[in-house]
Structures are given as structure tokens and as C-alpha cells.
Chains A and B, each alone.
Chain A
Amino acid sequence: MLILLHFATIGQCQINPLLLGDSTKNKQQLVALTGTIESTSTHKPLPGAYVHVDGLLKGSTDEFGKYFILLKRGKNRVVFTHVSMTPERYQIEIYEASVLNLEMSEKVFELDEFVVNGQESDYHVKQPISGTESLTISTIRTLPALIGEPDIIKSLQLLPGVTSVGEGTAGVNVRGGRTDQNLMLMNEAIVLSANHALGFLSPFNSDALGSFVLYKGVVPSNYGGRSSSALDIKMRQGDFSQWNFQLSAGSSVSKVLVEGPILKDKVSILVGGRISNTNWLLRKTKNDNVRGSNVSFNDTYTSISAKINSKNFLDVNLLTTGDYFRFSNKFGYTWSTMVTSATLKNLITKNFSVNTLFAYGRLKNSYFDISTQESPEITNTINYSQLKASGILVIGENSLTFGAETVIYKSSPEKIGPHSTTSTIVPNEVQKDSGRELAFFVSDDWSPLPWFSFSAGARYSSFSQLGPDSVFQYDSNKPRLVSNIIDTVIYTKGNIQRYHGFEPRLSVRISLSKTQSIKAGYSKMFQYVHTLSNTTAPTPVDLWQVSTTHIAPQQSENFSLGYFQNLKSDKWSMSLEGFYRLSTHQLEYKDFADLTQNPHIETELLQGLGKAYGVEVQIKKNRGKWTGWLAYTYSRAFSKVNGDFKEEKLNNGTWFPSNHDKPNVAALVLNRKLFPRGSFNLSVTYSTGRPITIIDSYYNVNGAVIPNYSNRNQYRIPDYFRVDVSFEIASIFKKIDDTLVLGVYNFLGRKNAYSVYYERFANQTRLVPYKLSLLGAALPSITYTVKFKGKKR
């Protein structure tokens, strides 16, 4: 039964009140609402539309445009959203299972309707888990981008609590965490490295991006294995009804995307690819070294989605990236990533569904030095297999999630060999460690009272270092040095060392009113794999290292408390969050650590404490002529390594700033819709300079003038400030679905310091410090994209 009562308008949004069912007949607490969503213009089912209930995402439409959600008896606020459709809002009073079919119209550029947040405007107020962030793909696309290519990782850095070491560095630092402490998932499959295009892009093609959520505070228990945050990225499925073709040509990146039905309404495919075209710019420079350099990258994403029957669905995905960088005739890197996954979704009953994922990934990188006659090339490869099964059971007001996950990491031996036929290096291999992670998880989301809800969960995780391997035994009364090895134990197979731990997760929301809430969270997390990178910034050749007998897992305890408020009918929203994180067994490196071709890598590592704390403020304008946000974060991140021996202390065992400690970070993002088919975008970022270690004095030893460096991270590079602008205009040519994006990155041409390096003049013994700015000028970009839509099959 469906009775349409009347229309009402609140603010700028039309709300459609509905009464569904007879309130006297059914006393069940939860009742089902289902239906089909179609496009107004095409009258075809609309897959990928989201259904939000009282501010929370509750479901989405399948490839047939069908949705199924459970609502509590009584009044519910239900909003249907889609990336390219105008949201439909309903005030539904429901008492028995009902069907609601609706049509959504294509989004037009109306000055007052542009919504920045992908979720509902009051998402932050209603969402029970603190410290979550998300952006819509349309928002990411509007942000001015470095080489004209929108990127999820770079966009994240405009959100509070998310920073990076600098331009051209891959990954993000979330709430004081290291880059390897972020769990990065693509369709639930682990992606180990975001290092792509020399760190200027991530592997995720924005054209194939569906949605994402960044959990920077409390990470739900179905995610684990990293000690800082989780980034859950959902890629898009191909179109089930028609073939679409998209082509972009840019000054630095060109890309293509094809999607469509292989079997109409049954099987769809999406294939996207990007390739660099930057070398012509290198040839324009005056510097011989730069002119003689070479940089190239490419990536592909393929997705095949199949509906086996009305209750079973299968998704198969493949992501590949390839990168090559050579600096003059001196050195270079090659690296590649491959992640493939298959996900089977089974709807067992209306209240119970099961997801089963199998994924396989490989990360391979090489470093070559062509400046010497030895001309060595060092290659590392890590392979991993992931199996995850999870179920969601809805009982009354509870939504119970449970499951198990295992990941096997297997590293190939680190190889050193000749890079060219004239190389004189003697080939060698160093065995690397392997291990298996196993976890069980359960969580419950419950809203017992309208003003109170919580998400409580637990994860029990374990890790086993697997043979075959050789384990060095060190004299426990002496520092861990090669010279203090007293024995070697050889394991041919099986478990060598096992770690395990219990990881509680809890987040509580208390609503002070319909527009205000307070949230508090606590989580404990274990991390069993780590990157080994003895450099300030992540490099393409960072090694992944599993926990071993001598490398304990990292642990973190995270606390957060936040206040959230929406104003003026959700036109404005603001948040204030504080966090504190304490980590143990955080990896640091001994001075002058040598991580390559080292069979006793543990002698170069130190493990200590880490702590981070801070306050994040965000003010966001969700609707109006101008939309955007202002984010400010004050945070600190410190490390402390105070071992038993002099060789196992850093900075005399005191707390010192981490590489990514940036106390003040601010970002301003503004978007102005220009009627009828354009938009102007501005982003401004500021941050305190990152810590560095510099030469602070000199001394003579045996005639050599030796630079004496400061304590680790005692100084800072100058503060960072950047303004980017972009202008997007649609429908350049009539009857063609096209877009032109003009952007200027670093609009003010500011020479922000990327690093400080030293140079010695011909006869001088002292080094002169120089500030290196990767971008020393304004960097314009232009990208033209055209889309073609085929006929419906």
C-alpha cells in the first residue's frame, strides 16, 4: 500500500512524506522496504543509487536498480542519492513491508542544489563511528589536480587529520600515523602500495571510482592489520544496460574507459586505462640531467560483474600499474602492482547476507644504479593471498557483522644482479621472510534509543612467521649486532614465531538534538607487516617486511572524542574532534641503517614508542552558491626509542618529532557553480614544515672536515603554502557530452621546500644547504574529456 500525502519543502530540499501500511496490523520492530529506481529520462533501472535512512547509509541498488532495506516501525527519513542524479528525499511512516518504486532525474547545475558531501548533509551528526571521512567522486573531480588528473589520495589530504610528507610522496599520514599504518582496500582487497606516477597519483583511476570511506579514528572490526586507519575504496561496476566510452586527453595523462553489458542485465564489464605523456616536457628543460631522464607510468582497471541469480552476485576485478623512472644516466626505479579479487555476494535470507572474497596481489620493485661499472639492479617482490568471509545479520535493531580473514604474505628473495650486459656485479640473493595473518571479527551496530547508538566490535588476530627460514640468535646481554650472533636456527617449514592479540573497537554516539551529537571512540589495533624505508619519504622501492622472531608487531591504542553539529537546515555543518594515539613497537632505524641485501635486517631496526595527539576542526558549507570547507588540524606525532644499549637509543632515548610531524595544517576548499554549465574551484593548503636533520656544525678528524648532523628531526623545513585553481566547463561542443578542465596547480608559483640538500663546491670542504622545491612555478594543466553513450541493448 502506498499513499502519497503531500509535498513539503524544507530549506532547499523537497521532502516527500509517505505513509506505508496500516499501523494496527503489524507489530514487528523492523519492516522491509523494497523497490526499483529508474532514471526519469531513460526509464531504465538505475544501479549504484544509495539509500540513506536517518542519515546513515543502509543500502544501494543492484544492477537492476532494485534495493532492499529494513526500516524501523514508524517514521523514517529516507534519502535516495546517486552520483549523477538529483537526490530524492522521503519522510516515510511505515508499518508493514512495502514497495516504493521511484524515478530519479539527472542532476542539473542548480546554484542551490550542489551538494559537497557524498553522504547526507547530516552524515557526520548521525553516523555512529567517529573519525570517518568521505568525499563524492564529483567532489574529487572538481578539486584542482596536480597534473590535471583527479586523485583520491591527494584529495584526502585536504581533509582534517590527513597529511603527507610532501609533494611527490605517495601515501598519507593519518592522525600522526606512518604511511604503512594505513590499511588500503580496493573492493575489500588489500592494496599494499599507493606509490604510482612517482607519488603524484595513486593507482585508482578516478573514472572507475565508486565511493570510499576513510576510517581515521575507530576502525570497524572487519578491518585490521594496520595500526592507524583504514581506507575502504569501492570501484565502480560496468553499466549493465548500455555501452559507454570515455576518452580523455591531457597535458600529462591520457586515459580511456569502456563499460557496458556483455550479457544484458546479467554481466557487465568495465575497462579503464591511463598512460603518461610527460617526457616531452622533460626534453624542454635546460638541465642536462633532467633532459636525459625518463619517466613513464600506466595503469589499468578491469571489472567484470555478474548476476548469477536474484540472490547471488559475482564481481571480479583486476588492477595493474607499471612505473619506470630513470634519472639521467645515474639511477632509476621500476615498480609494478597487481591486485586481483573475486567477490561472491550471497543473500541467504532477507536478514542475512554473506560476502566471500579471494584476492591475490603482487608488488614488485627494482632499483638500478647505472653510474658505476658495477651497475647493479636490486629487485624485491612480495606476493600475498587474501581470503575473507563475512556475514551481516540483522536482528531487530541490531546489525551484526562477523567473519574471518586470512592473509598469506610471501616474499621472494631479494635479488641483486646486473642491470646491463656490461655490468660487473656478482649476482646474489638474500632470503626474505614470509608469514600468515589470521583474524576473526564481530561487531554490532545498535541504536537502542533515538539519541543513543553505538558500534561495538572485537577482532582477534594472530600472525605466524612461516618457514623455511634461518633465525639468528643474538647474545641477549649485548646490543643486537651481527658481531653478537651466537647461533643460527634453521626452520625447514611450519610456524617459527606466533603473535596474537585481542583488538576491541567501540564507538558511541549521543545525540544532543537532531542537529548535534557527541561521539567517543576507542580502538586497539595490531600490525604484522611493515614497510622498511630508511628515507624521509616513501620511495617506490620500499620493502615490506613481516613480523619475525626479532621484529614484534606494532600495536596502537586510539582514543577519540568529537562534537558534531549541523546548522541552518544542514546547509552548514561543523565538527570538532580530538584524538590521542599511543603505539608500541613502532619501527625506527638505526643511524646509517643499510636495508638492502641484508640477511640480518633486524640489526638495522629499532622498535620504540610512538604517540600522536591533536584536534581537528572542520566547517563545511553543503549547499548554496558557494560550497566547500575549511579544515584545520593541530596535531603532533613523536617517536621514542630507548633501548637497553647505547646503540639502541635514538636522540638519547627521548621523544623526538616523527618525520611527518606537522603541528599546523589548514585547508580551504571552495567551489562556485557557474551557471549553466561550469564551475570554479579553489583550494588553499598550509602546513608547518616537516622535521629534518641538518648539518649544524663541522669538525676535523684526520684531515677530513666532517659535517656534524643535529639530533634526528631537530629542525624543520620552511612552512608550506599552496593555492590551486581550476575551471571546469561542460558541453563545449553541442550534442557532445564533453568536459574541459583548465587548472593551475601552485597558482602563486610559490617555491615550497620539498627537501633540503647539500652541495659542495669544487675546493670547498663545507657543504652549502639548498632548498629544493619540486614545483618551483605555477603548473598549468588542461584536460579534455569526451563521453559517448551507445544504444541500449
Chain B
Amino acid sequence: MVVSNNCIEPIVFPLDTTSENIVIYGQLTDADEPQYVYIQKSSVDQNLPAPIRGAFVFLVDNQNNRYRYTEDKAGRYKLNNLTHGTPGATYFIEVTINNSIYRSEKERMPTTIGSDSVSYTISKETYESADFARLVHRLDVFSKSKLPSETDYFLRWDTNEVYYFQMTNFPDIFNTPAPDCYASDRVDPQRITLLNGSSVTGKSVEQLVAQREIDFTFLDRHYIIVRQLSTTRDSYEYWSKVKALLANTGSPFDIPPAIVQGNIENTDNPNETVLGYFETCRVTTDQFFLVPGYIPYYIEPYCTYDFQKPYERYPAPCVDCLALPNGTYTKPAGF
């Protein structure tokens, strides 16, 4: 009876606009790939978190070797002179922002890791909201993982995508084709898939690691790459809290939400709330790709040339590859 009379309305809080915090997130893996640290300020309003530029960032290993990161994009710092970390070695990062030094705790790169075999299914799903219902095709990505023989390990799965994007071919007298365009992104980043080795009994586990709507980005070759990350216990606990936060809806019966404390602090002011985490991981990957022929549904063309359509009415990515998330005209490795 009580529930039947309940009522839900949007509410606006006068937020404390001084509550922006520094966010530092870095990941060092044992794979030969670019290693990044991202630095930003949390965003109180609806804007994206603001990148912090001009920071000095160093990686320090257990031999006290210091490796410099340099800013290659606003708020993104790329590690120089080192392409990967070493399992069993210990690392931390040191970041200087406006004379304040932020230092992470030491993280030992794990030595154990399992292996994955990924698969997918495609299904129909109806997205319902208060105003409308929409039928979409959904890609479900599964990973069947062979687990390490030890029990003291902590795993996380990230799913990425890389795809070719066919921009609009505008006719010209030289019949110049549209440039090749590629884009990459995280898939379903709000899904945190974790596994604690001490909580499983078998030697393999199969789980859903990502879901994604099938849209115009599947009009050409589309790679899905699943990364299994072997992390530390502390990293696992950090991501467990993030997962709890993302699942929390604020009900009085929920576990009260809180700030997720990472492993980075201001050396001069330990009371400053510093968000984010620096983690060291072993990585294995498995991948598959999809082309339209694999998808049993029709995908509406996105960038087809229409001579009656003014140039400015084409979707931005059809005329500018950089409008896509992480869009690039450079062919990625493996394509």
C-alpha cells in the first residue's frame, strides 16, 4: 500500500563546486604497447573531466630507475624509454602538479595469468524508456578463461574495439576515395568484470565481459579485443569498490556510497582526496572480428553520398575521422 503511493521526482542539489579532485590513473603492463598515465580534474557539472596539462610524471622501479612520461595529448602522458614492465618487479609513479608531489604506493607486477578464448552472440533487445521503446541488435562478448593453477591471483577483463570506418566518398574530378579511417575505444567500460582466485573452485570460467549495441561502426571490419589483466589484491579491491559504486543506486537499503580511495596521495597533504589508481598488470589478449556478413541483420548505411545533401548535414565522422572516439587516419597494428 505504501509502495503504491510512492512518488519519484528529479531533484537538484546545490553542489559544492569546490569539490573538484585531482584524478590520476596509470596502468603499466608487461605487453609491448604504449603505457599511459592520465591526469584530470573531476567534473562537478555535466562537462567532461578537465585534463591537467603540464604535469611532470615519472615511473620509478625497484632499482630506483626513473622513466619519464611525456604529454602526448591533453592530460595523457606516455611513458618514454620503456615499452613494458617486468612481472615480479615493483613500480610506482610520481606526479608533480603545481609544485605538489603526488606519489602512488608501490605495486608489484603479478607473475601469474590465465588465458582466454572469446566468443560472441548477437541478439535483439528492446531499450525502453519513459518516452519510447527502441529495438536494437546487441553484441554479447563472452570469455572462456583458463585460470592459473595457483589460487592467489586477481583478474579483471577489459574489452576494446578497433574498427575501420568508411567515410563518405564525395565525388571529385580525380575520383579520389575517402581517406581510410580507424577508430578504437573501450567497449562497455561501465561493466567491471573481476575474479578473485580464492573464490573459484574450477580451473576455467566463462563469463559475459561486454555488451554493445550493433550500430554503424559495424559497417566494416570491426575487431573486438578482450584483455585479461592479472592485477594485485589492492587493485582488485579498488575495482571492486568501483564496481559497487556503479551498481549503487542510493536506496536506503544500499551500502552507503563513498569516495573510492586509490593508492595515490599528496606527499605534503595526505588529507587531500586524490582519486584514481596506478596499477601494474600482466596482460593476455584474445580477439575476433565481425564484418557485416557475420551479422544476421541489416545495418543502415551511415555515410552514403547523396548529391542532394549539403556537406554540413553529413554526420561529423563521415567527413572527419577525428570526430570518432580516438579516430585516426593511421592504420593500427594488426589491421
Chain A residues with a Cβ under 8 A of chain B: 147, 165-169, 198, 200, 252, 278, 281-282, 284-285, 287, 290, 293, 295, 483, 534-537, 539, 589, 591-594, 646, 652, 692-712, 714-715, 718, 751, 753-759, 761-763, 765-777, 779
Contacts and interface: CB of A to CB of B under 8 A. Distances in A.
A467 B189 CA distance: 48
Interface in B244-263: 244-246, 248-261
B242 interface: yes
B27 interface: yes
B230 to A, nearest CB: 15
Given A593-B255, A759-B249, A281 B1 contact: yes
Given A758-B249, A766-B46, A699 B6 contact: no
Contacts of A652: 271
B2 interface: yes
Given A697-B21, A699-B40, A699-B275, A200 B5 contact: no
Contacts of A693: 256-258
B192 interface: yes
A282 B4 contact: yes
A287 B48 CA distance: 35
Contacts of B11: 718, 753, 756, 769-771
A700 B8 contact: no
Contacts of B57: none
Contact of B42 (A166, A534, A697, A755): A697
Nearest to B44: A697
Given A696-B19, A703-B186, A761-B129, A770 B1 contact: no
B258 A699 contact: no
B242 A777 contact: no
A154 to B, nearest CB: 13
A701 B4 contact: no
A536 B38 contact: no
Contacts of A708: 21, 42, 259-260, 275
B296 interface: no
10 contacts: A282-B3, A295-B3, A694-B13, A701-B276, A705-B190, A707-B257, A755-B250, A761-B129, A771-B11, A775-B2
Given A696-B15, A700-B49, A706-B260, 19 more contacts: A252-B1, A282-B3, A282-B4, A589-B256, A592-B255, A697-B42, A699-B275, A701-B275, A702-B158, A704-B186, A704-B190, A751-B9, A754-B252, A758-B250, A762-B127, A763-B213, A770-B11, A774-B3, A774-B5
A688 to B, nearest CB: 15
Contacts of A281: 1, 4
B249 A706 contact: no
A559 to B, nearest CB: 31
B250 A168 contact: no
A534 B46 CA distance: 30
Contacts of B144: none
Which of A198, A483, A756 lies at the interface centre, i.e. has the most chain B CB atoms within 10 A of its CB?
Answer: A756
Contact of A699 (B1, B9, B49, B186): B49
Contacts, number: 200
Contacts of A779: 1, 5
Contacts of A712: 256, 258
A698 B43 contact: yes
Contacts of A535: 252-256
A762 B212 CA distance: 12
Contacts of A168: 2
Interface string B102-143: 000000000000000000000000010100000000000000
B237 to A, nearest CB: 9
A773 B6 contact: yes
Given A281-B1, A537-B252, A652-B271, A770 B245 contact: no
Contacts of B8: 770-773
B38 A757 contact: no
Sorted from nearest, which 9 A-B pairs have the closest CB atoms? Answer: A776-B7, A703-B186, A703-B189, A591-B258, A757-B250, A771-B11, A281-B1, A697-B42, A699-B42
Interface in B1-44: 1-13, 15-16, 19-21, 23, 25, 27, 38, 40-44
Interface in B228-282: 233, 240-242, 244-246, 248-261, 270-271, 275-277
A773 B20 CA distance: 30
A712 B257 CA distance: 8
B186 A534 contact: no
B248 to A, nearest CB: 8
Which of B13, B23, B249 lies at the interface centre, i.e. has the most chain A CB atoms within 10 A of its CB?
Answer: B13
A766 B246 CA distance: 10
A761 B10 CA distance: 13
B24 to A, nearest CB: 9
Contacts of B21: 697, 699, 708
Nearest to A652: B271
A483 B2 contact: no
A776 B6 CA distance: 5
A287 B4 CA distance: 8
B13 A715 contact: yes
B242 A706 contact: yes
B13 A697 contact: no
Contacts of A593: 255
Contacts of A714: 16
Given A702-B186, A704-B192, A290 B258 contact: no
B190 A751 contact: no
Contacts of B38: 700-701
Contacts of B244: 592
Interface string B208-234: 000001000000000000000000010
Contacts of B41: 699
Which of B192, B240, B256 lies at the interface centre, i.e. has the most chain A CB atoms within 10 A of its CB?
Answer: B256
B264 to A, nearest CB: 12
Nearest to B257: A709
Given A698-B42, A699-B276, A771 B186 contact: no
B110 to A, nearest CB: 16
Contacts of A700: 23, 25, 38, 40, 48-49
Nearest to A761: B129
Contacts of A771: 8-11
Given A539-B253, A591-B241, A592-B258, A770 B10 contact: yes
